[in-house]
């Protein structure tokens, strides 16, 4: 079982549309997702992370940027990234 996976690059609509990031099902065996390498994120990126978290509620996000925190609060999904899911 893989314990940790990193997401890096631009987690934005254009990249998600090109399927540059893994399918949500690929996170089945993951316990922690490191977001340190995310250079840019938009609402589509927040939705992608929210979908991962709602599908696999035990996943923890680590090393998230301030922008991720701000956008998740703006879109009303910051509860997905609080103490139980975002460090």
- Per-residue pLDDT, 85: 47
For 40-86, the pLDDT digits (tens) are: 999 999 999 999 999 999 999 999 999 999 999 999 998 887 754 45
pLDDT higher than threshold 70 for residue 1? no
- Per-residue pLDDT, 3: 92
DSSP 25: G
- CA distances (Å), 37 to each of 11, 12, 30, 43, 64, in order? 10, 13, 17, 17, 9
- Per-residue pLDDT, 83: 57
- Per-residue pLDDT, 54: 93
pLDDT higher than threshold 90 for residue 26? yes
């Amino acid at each position: 079982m893989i314990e940790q996976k990193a997401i890096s690059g631009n987690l934005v609509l254009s990249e998600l549309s090109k399927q540059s990031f893994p399918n949500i099902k690929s996170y089945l065996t993951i316990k922690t997702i490191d977001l340190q390498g995310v250079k840019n994120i938009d609402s589509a990126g927040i939705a992608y992370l929210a979908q991962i978290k709602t599908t696999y509620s035990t996943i923890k996000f680590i090393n998230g940027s301030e922008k991720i925190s701000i956008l998740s609060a703006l879109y009303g999904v910051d509860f997905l990234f609080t103490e139980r899911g975002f460090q």
